[in-house]
Amino acid sequence: MERHDMLLKLKALKLHGMAAAFDEVIDEGMKRSRTPFDVLGRLLAAEDSERHARSIRYQMTVAKFPEYRELANFDFTESPVNEQQIRALHEGSFIDETRNIVLVGGPGTGKSHLGLALAIQAVKTNRRVRFFSVVDLVNRLEQRKPPASKVAWRSGSP
């Protein structure tokens, strides 16, 4: 089978990571006399990396983050938050323990930045996330609330 046919077959099988890495892995394998198992292993690793990256891109879209924030860009000297506690939360153990966190504070204290940074880190570690602003969340809850039942009131004595 020719190179072109192999690339077409990889793409038809939706092995885009393998197709993208094909030339580089084959060339390196030939130059360094790699075994077929080594070459195949490298191609499989490339496919795995591509699928992981694609999954993260998809989850970031589904989460509907208003902007991209990272903890590395947060200035702890300008905010009264506990840096050690935030860094511990950033590791995500609260998710494994099924615990919630609530960020409370005045305007400009970094709640949104920290919330986004924690959520984006969760996506990067293969967790599903959905971001809501308070306004969006209240509106969604209002839409789901059943209509108030009508109570008949009578005046006078029974």
Q: In degrees rounded to 5, what are phi and psi of residue 131?
A: -95, 130
Contacts of 47 (CB under 8 A, 6+ apart): 15, 16, 17, 18, 21
Contact 6, 22 (CB under 8 A): yes
The alpha carbon of 139 is separated from its chain's Cα centroid by a whole number of angstroms, namely: 24
Q: What is the pLDDT of residues 25-48, one digit of tens each?
A: 999 999 999 999 999 999 999 999
Q: What is the pLDDT of residues 73-104, one digit of tens each?
A: 999 988 888 999 999 999 988 888 888 888 88
Q: What is the pLDDT of residues 105-120, one digit of tens each?
A: 888 889 889 999 999 9
Inter-axis angle of helices 16-31 and 36-63, nearest 10: 150
Residue 153 has a pLDDT of: 59
With cut-offs at 50, 70 and 90, classify the pLDDT of residue 155.
Answer: low
CA distance 75 to 47: 37
Q: What percent of the chain has pLDDT over 90?
A: 54
Three-state secondary structure of 116-145: HHHHHHHHHCCCCCCCCCHHHHHHHHHHHC
Report the predicted TM-score, pTM, of the whole model to 2 decimal places: 0.68
Q: What is the mean pLDDT of the chain?
A: 88
